[in-house]
Structure 1
Amino acid sequence: MYSNGYNVYKNNSVNYASKEQLLLMLVEGAVKFCKIARQAIVDRDVKKAHDALTRTQDIFSELIVSLDTSVGEWAVELSRVYVFIKEKLIEANLKKSLEIIDEILPLVEDINETWKEAYSRSKR
């Protein structure tokens, strides 16, 4: 019963979110799944690591295609960062490498913080 109510709430929060809120949900999800993947590798849970890394890759794929690079050089540079992270995620997934995840997780967290700050400033 409660699970169904939570799913309805979750679906509504996505369906009625602004573009900016959806972007925040994506980057927060990227941090979450990257951390889940890291712990799964530590726990030697290959399937869980694969699933979490694949979800993180999918998020970065979405961020890449949704980025409007015509708005300025900053967007082009951000696209390059997204592509770099996605490539590293693929490599981390193939090798199940903690070292690679530890290299890119701070970047993913920085992107999350940057978009949170941008969203906050846009609301002032």
Structure 2
Amino acid sequence: MYSNGYNVYKNNAVNYASKEQLLLMLVEGAVKFCKIARQAIIDKDVKKAHNALIRTQDIFSELMISLDTSVGDWAVQLFNVYAFIKEKLVEANMSKKLEIIDEILPLIEDINETWKEAYVRAKK
């Protein structure tokens, strides 16, 4: 009963979110799934790690697709950062090496914080 209500709430949150809010949801999801993958690698749960890494890769694919690189050099540079992260996620998924996750997780967290800050500043 409660999980159905939660799913309705979650769907409504996505369906009625602004583009900026959707971006924040994506980058927060990237942090979440990367952390899940990290723990799954520690726990030697290959399937869970794979699924979480795929979800994180999908998020970065979506971020790359939605980025308008014609607006300036900063967008091209951000696209390249996203591509680097995605490449490392693929590498981490193939090797299940914790070191790769530890290399990119701080970068993903920085991106999350940067977009949060940009959202707050844009609201002022």
| TM-score above 0.5, yes or no | yes
Take 1:67 and 1:10, find their aligned partners in 2: how far apart are those partners? 24
- Quote the residue 2:73 is aligned against: 73
How many pairs does the alignment contain?
124
Give the residue type in structure 1 aligned to 2:112.
Answer: N
Unaligned runs of 5+ in 2: none
Alignment of 1:51-66 (within 5 A): 51-66=51-66
Whether 2:90 is the aligned partner of 1:90: answer: yes
Q: CA deviation at 1:49?
A: 0.1
- Quote the residue 1:43 is aligned against: 43
Give me the CA root mean square deviation: 0.2
Take 1:68 and 1:115, find their aligned partners in 2: how far apart are those partners? 15
Whether 2:113 is the aligned partner of 1:113: answer: yes
Q: TM-score of the superposition, structure 1-length normalised?
A: 1.00
Take 2:65 and 2:52, find their aligned partners in 1: how far apart are those partners? 20
Q: TM-score of the superposition, structure 2-length normalised?
A: 1.00
Runs of 4+ off more than 6 Å = none
Percent identity (aligned): 84
Take 1:55 and 1:42, find their aligned partners in 2: how far apart are those partners? 18
Q: CA deviation at 1:104?
A: 0.2
Give the residue type in structure 2 aligned to 1:27.
Answer: V
- Quote the residue 2:11 is aligned against: 11
Q: CA deviation at 1:23?
A: 0.1
**Secondary structure of 1:17's match?**
coil
